[in-house]
A and B are shown apart, each in its own frame.
Chain A
């Protein structure tokens, strides 16, 4: 079993929809990253969380340490949000990744 599980694997939405991507992990962590990867591009860290909730523009990330679960929400989705979103957990100095969620937002 992978230490980091993401769902869904693929997600197609219409422009303007509210989107949620989930991440569950099975190990103790010091922090969790939500990452964005565009086709052919590198990875950008959107959020680093160790508790609670963070917001940046239309993106919101939450984490529940007790339940070992995090969510990434996108409000008013736009086609430019189309990318792969990856959850990565920090294990002290180490990092482990989920398989990613491929999001496609249609105009």
Chain B
């Protein structure tokens, strides 16, 4: 959607492979969220950044999941030693600030085989 670009759109990984998913917001979006959406489910919160600070990572399902946003703009979600249960769409959402509109990326569909 307008305001945020995710890449790749689709990723097939072999079990055990590491993957990196990218979220690239247009400038000025202070808050950035990562969500995991399993097939037929609503998005589940993973982690949240305000600028470069990771303020909440309580949703990350295991220590194989790691997210960073070193310069407060582009964020990368890394999954190490992927498992089949990691197969999902990973969504990125951004906000400019309190009570402002939210923008969502198109998501990255990860399939672990």
A contact set with B: CB distance below 8 Å: 6, 30-31, 33, 35, 41-45, 48, 50, 86, 88, 90, 92-100, 102
Provide the bound-state CA to CA distance between A98 and B43, in Å: 8
Summed over the interface, the residue pairs from A and B with CB atoms below 8 Å come to a total of 60
Chain B contacts for A102, CB-based, 8 A: 40
Provide the bound-state CA to CA distance between A97 and B1, in Å: 18
Stretch of B14-22, B66-74, B102-110 that contacts chain A: B102-110
Are B99 and A97 in contact, with the CB atoms below 8 A?
no
Contact of A97 among B43, B50, B56 (CB under 8 A): B43
Are A97 and B105 in contact, with the CB atoms below 8 A?
no
Are A45 and B42 in contact, with the CB atoms below 8 A?
no
Can you offer 19 A-B residue contacts whose CB atoms are under 8 A? A31-B99, A41-B106, A42-B104, A43-B43, A43-B93, A43-B107, A86-B43, A88-B102, A93-B31, A93-B55, A93-B98, A94-B45, A95-B93, A95-B102, A97-B43, A97-B44, A97-B45, A99-B42, A100-B42
Provide the bound-state CA to CA distance between A96 and B58, in Å: 13
Interface string of B37-59 (1 = CB under 8 A from A): 00011111100101000011000
**For the complex, is B85 an interface residue (Cβ under 8 Å from A)?**
no
Are B98 and A30 in contact, with the CB atoms below 8 A?
yes
